[in-house]
Amino acid sequence: MTFQELQPKISKIIAGNESNRDEKLLAVCQLLNENVEYYNWVGFYFANHDAKTLHLGPYVGAETDHTVIPFGKGICGQVAESNANFVVPDVKAQDNYIACSLTVKSEIVVPLFVNGVNIGQIDIDSHVIDPFTEADERFLEFVNQEVAKLF
């Protein structure tokens, strides 16, 4: 399914009245995981700005030990500080990468803003080297704009 085909499905999940926020976030993760071949782990992390940590929210994919990530640590922690998208074509080339699984080859993290504040991010791991393009970035920015409506 193309990103263009997925967009209205994302909007429908977010606008639905039949589920709570975490259920909607999980449904978004499932939709992406099932319909984008190289999205092998899809999840949300949310910021605790007082503690300067990220906390794992709903996700789909292999279990992770990384339920709390300090700001600045790993790709997710760097995005918490930079407020910018971070595309990692090959995780082995990153010094500040937190390995989740030997099968993960690349990662993309896009911050989630609500009223101009970075409250978290969507994090996607792939078992493929260098699959992410600018189209992924724009699509995930759209996803996060929709998800921001839940806050």
Tens digit of pLDDT for each residue in 99-146?
A: 666 788 999 999 999 999 999 999 999 999 999 999 999 999 999 999
CA–CA dist 15, 52 (Å, integer):
30
Residue 70 has pLDDT above 90, yes or no: yes
CA–CA dist 74, 69 (Å, integer):
8
**H or E element in which residue 82 lies:** helix 74-82
C-alpha dist (Å) from residue 145 to 67, 91, 112, 126 = 24, 27, 7, 22
Q: Are 39 and 1 in contact (CB under 8 A)?
A: no
4 pLDDT tier (thresholds 50, 70, 90): very high
Residue 96 has pLDDT above 80, yes or no: no
**H or E element in which residue 5 lies:** helix 3-15
Averaged confidence pLDDT in the chain: 94
Rounded to a whole number of angstroms, the distance between the first and last alpha carbons of the chain is 28
CB contact set of 68 (below 8 Å; sequence gap of 6+): 53, 54, 55, 56
Predicted pLDDT of residue 97: 63
Provide mean pLDDT across the span 91-103. Answer: 71
Predicted pLDDT of residue 87: 96
